Amino acid sequence: MRTAARIDRLPPYLFAEIDRKVAEARGRGADIISFGVGDPDLPTPDHVVEALREAALDPATHRYPSYVGMPELRSAIASFYERRFKVSLDPDNAIQPLVGIKEGIFHLPVAFVDQGQVALIPDPAYPVYETGTLLAGGVPHLVPLWAENDFLPDLGSIPKDVLERASVLWLNFPGNPSAATVERPFFEDAVEFCMRHDLLLAHDAAYAEITYDGYVAPSVLEVEGAEECAVEFYSLSKTYNMTGWRIGWVAGAPVAIEAIKRLKTNIDSGIFDAVQRAAIAALEGPQDQLRDTVERYRARRDLLCEGLASMGIEVSPPRGSIYLWVPVPEGHTSESFATFLLEEAAIVVAPGNGYGPSGEGFVRFSLTVSDERLAEGVERLRRVVA
């Protein structure tokens, strides 16, 4: 049996590798504290679980769901955008529910990047922008995010011949792994850039609600012109501690949504209706648990930042996301520091180079560790990083 060349070219998924190393260390009896995967440790709100329970008992939810999502869900999403961003979206042609946004992000290049065409991808970034492009036969062009530029891409530095072959620009704010945040003028420039170069702007807003210190993340769809050239991916995973539920959506330019719909009818058969009803409960129900979740992350962020500072590792507290993007000590690479922490402190972090070559020299700490284990982690760091 022979695997296809495209599978041979596909790197193993970063976290599949980390999971393997952790399982190995646990097998040796190590008491691991994992700051690796960004998978919320706090529970899904009770009223959302209850909505699922009730919906699952209704046989009407047991059949194939609609390809385009329940009209009630699309209306709830449109109301959310109106409330949250003052953006009007037509529920029928500007919103497509997704089986978690990883699914939509992976598939987008199939609809928008022809063989040999370029997708502009931030570096470091969530790995799926690049792997989706590669499997679609596209060419990733990495746009580096430097600390000196607050981890924002310099769009003006992209060579002209690359732009001529490009069809998609990926952005992600608050960013994973860099935790970078932007204000609306950044999106205004990006939309103008994409109009000028005939690009689809694909913005991943997975962390739009996880923000601190009074910062409120903008939507790219707030910007004039975005309705013609931009889509935004929005996930319930991090906002409502629902990573296991697999639900999110893509919203924006109807021409793009139409293409994604056509593609998806050929791939999956929608999201379990009971999960869609639970998503409506999440969007329309009480939001106090979201505020509590964010406050917990803020306290953890501060504790970890202080702990790192006392070891001489300065990280300014990010205004968004669930990550700290931490420069490694002198003399270490991302990999060597991650290995050092695993072997000496039984602490797992994600090596920055796994998010792209410009991630070299950093490791990512996720804040999805219980308060108690996080405090223990900080103690261990103090012991080994001296």
Residues of this chain that interact with ligand PLP (CB under 6 A) are 38, 100-102, 126, 172, 176, 204, 206, 235, 237-238, 243, 248
Nearer to ligand PLP, 237 or 289 (CB): 237
Name residues whose C-beta falls within 8 Å of residue 171's C-beta, 6 or more positions apart in sequence. Answer: 122, 153, 190, 201, 202, 203, 204, 220
Residue nearer to ligand PLP on the CB measure, 38 or 352: 38
Minimum gap (Å) between residue 238 Cβ and ligand PLP: 6
Pick from 102, 78, 107: nearest CA to 261:
107
User: Least distance in Å: CB of 239 to ligand PLP?
Assistant: 10
CB of 176 to ligand PLP, least distance (A): 4
Closer residue to ligand PLP (CB): 77 or 346: 77
Return the percent helix, strand and coil in the chain, to nearest 5.
45, 15, 35
Residue 153 CA to residue 142 CA, distance in Å, equals 10
Rounded least distance, CB 101 to ligand PLP, Å: 4
Exposure string over 2-36, b if 16+ CB within 10 A, otherwise e: eeeeeeeeeeeebbeebeeebeebeeeebebbbbb
CA dist., res. 352 & res. 361, Å (int)? 7
46 exposure class (CB count in 10 Å sphere: 0-12, 13-18, 19+):
exposed
Q: Report how far apart, in Å, the C-alpha atoms of 151 and of each of 145, 148, 314 are.
A: 4, 7, 16
CB of 126 vs ligand PLP, minimal distance in Å: 4
Min dist. Cβ of residue 245 to ligand PLP (A) = 9
Identify which of residues 14 and 70 has a Cβ nearer to ligand PLP in the complex. Answer: 14
Shorter beta-carbon distance to ligand PLP: residue 45 or 307 = 45
Q: Cα torsion for 334, 339, 342, 345, to the nearest 10°?
A: -80
Please, which residue, 39 or 222, has the CB nearer to ligand PLP? 39
- Give the count of beta carbons closer than 10 Å to the beta carbon of residue 286: 11
Nearest distance from residue 384's CB to ligand PLP, in Å? 28
Q: Which is nearer to ligand PLP, 163 or 190 (CB)?
A: 190
